[in-house]
Amino acid sequence: MSVQVKIPAVGESISSGVVSVWHKRSGEQVKKGDPLFTLETDKVSTEIVAEADGVLKTKAAEGQEVKIGEVVAEIEESGAAVETAPAKKEKTAPEHASAAAVADRGRSESPTPTTATALSPAVRRIVDEEKLDPAKISGTGKGGRVTKGDALAAAQNRSLAEPADTESTTATEMAEPGESLAPATKDGRVVRKKISPLRRKIAQQLVMAQHTAAILTTFNECDMSEVQALRAHAQEQFTKRNGLKLGFMSFFVKATVAALKAVPPINGRIEGDYFIQNNFYDIGVAVGTERGLVVPVVRGADKKSFADLERDIADYAKKAREGKLKIEELQGGTFTISNGGVYGSLLSTPILNPPQSGILGMHKIMERPIAVNGAVVVRPMMYLALSYDHRIVDGKEAVTFLIKVKEGIETPKTLPIDF
C-alpha cells in the first residue's frame, strides 16, 4: 500500500511552488512526521512532513515548480524491508576482510562533530539546500560544531569556485533577440542563479508599491536616553519573570500604536474608490532572512503586554530564520515597522508594504552632540523615518505621527508600562 505525497494548499492566492530541497532521498526509510521536503512559494517556505511510515519514492526533482495538489512522491508502507536491504548490504564488510580492517573502517565511518547528525536544524537546512558536505566545513562553534555562519560561508566559497559551463550555455540560449544576458564564467567572476519565488514576489511588491502609491518620506530623531535607562533598570526583573529579554522593539510598537490612534488615516488604506479605516492594530515587524525580507504580523498589538510583544517578535524571528512561518502569519497587517539599525543603517527611506499606507523605519542608535537647554551634550540618538501614501496622508499628519512616536520613546513612562 502506498500513500501519495501531494502539494498542500498553503494560501488562497498561491497556486504553485518550488520543491527547494528534499530532506529525505528516494528509497530512504521515513517515519510519520519526518520532514520530507521544503516547499518554497512566493510568500513563504513550508516544510512538508510524512503522513505515514514507509519508504519514500520521489517523483519531483529539487528546483522543480509544482502545482497545488500535484503528487510529488509516494510512501510505500509495505516495501520498507525490501527497499532498505541493498543499502544495508553495501555497508557489510567483505567476508575475506580481516577483523582489523573491518575495525579500521568502522572507526573511519564513525560520526564526527561536523557530520549531519550534529547539525542544528538551521544549519542542516542550508547544508541540504546547498548540497554541502558537512565533513568539509570547518566548525567555529563550541566543540567544533558547525554554525549557521560556517555553512553560509562554505556555500558562498563553493559557488565562487564551481565551474558554470551549463549555466553559461543556458544564458545564451535563453536570451531573447536584442537582450544581453551576462553568462556565468569558469573563474567565478560571474555567477548566475535563478531567483527564488520569494525574492520574485518581494520584487513585484516593491515595484507595485512604487507604481501605485504616492510615497513620501519624512524624518525626525529621538533621544534614546530615557528608554535605555528604563530598559536597563527593568531588565533583570523582566527576564526573571518572563524568561526573555526586554528589547527596544516592544517600546516602538507601543509608541506606534499610540501614534496611530492619534493619526488614524495612517492606519488605513485605499481600496478602489474607497478609504478603509482600520480600528484595530495588527503591526507587521519586518524580519530579514537569507532568503529575503518577510513581515510577520503581531495581532492586536494594542492589547498585548510588553512581554507578549517581545515573545511574539522573538517567535516570529525564529520561525522566519527556519522557514517555518505560516501564510496566515504574514497576512492582514495594518502598519509595518522595519528596523534597519540592526544592520548598522543610519538613515533610509523604507518602501510601503501594500496595501498599507505607512511604514516606520528605525535606525542605528548613535551617540551624537545635540543642543539641550542651550548646552551641547552627547546623547544616544536614533533617526526615524516614516514613509506614507501621500494620497490619503498629508504632511501635517505624517509629522504629527512621528512627533507622537518621538514623545513615546523620549518619555517612555507615558506609554502603558506593565513591567
pLDDT tens-digit series, residues 106-142? 444 444 444 444 677 667 777 777 778 888 787 777 6
Alpha-helix runs per DSSP H in 175-305: 197-212, 225-242, 249-262
pLDDT for the residue 245: 95
Nearest to 205 by CA among 353, 374, 91: 353
Residue 235: burial class (beta carbons within 10 Å; 0-12, 13-18, 19+): middle
Q: Which structural domains are found in the chain, ordered by start?
A: 1-92 (2.40.50.100), 200-414 (3.30.559.10)
Q: How far apart are the first and last CA of the chain?
A: 57
User: In whole angstroms, what is the distance from residue 374 CA to residue 177 CA?
Assistant: 66
Local confidence band at 298 (pLDDT 50, 70, 90 cut-offs): very high
Local confidence band at 15 (pLDDT 50, 70, 90 cut-offs): confident
pLDDT for the residue 161: 52
User: In whole angstroms, what is the distance from residue 94 CA to residue 284 CA?
Assistant: 61
Which amino acid is residue 179, in one-letter code?
E
Which amino acid is residue 304, in one-letter code?
K
Mean pLDDT, the chain, rounded, equals 82
User: In whole angstroms, what is the distance from residue 389 CA to residue 404 CA?
Assistant: 19
Nearest to 257 by CA among 206, 223, 305: 305
Catalytic residues: 390, 394
Local confidence band at 290 (pLDDT 50, 70, 90 cut-offs): confident
pLDDT per residue as tens digits for the range 209-224? 888 899 999 999 999 9
Element (H, E) at 72: strand 71-76
The SS3 of residue 100 is helix
pLDDT for the residue 118: 60
Do residues 319 and 350 lie in contact, with contact meaning Cβ atoms separated by under 8 Å? no
C-alpha dist (Å) from residue 4 to 8, 41, 51, 100: 12, 21, 9, 46
Residue 408: burial class (beta carbons within 10 Å; 0-12, 13-18, 19+): buried
Look-up of cell digits 509608541: 255
Least confident of 246-250, 319-323, 342-346: 319-323
Buried b (16+ CB within 10 A) or exposed e, 102-132: eeeeeeeeeeeebeeebbeebbbbbbbbeeb
Query: pTM of the full predicted structure?
Result: 0.62
pLDDT per residue as tens digits for the range 20-31? 889 888 888 998
Local confidence band at 170 (pLDDT 50, 70, 90 cut-offs): very low
pLDDT for the residue 181: 57
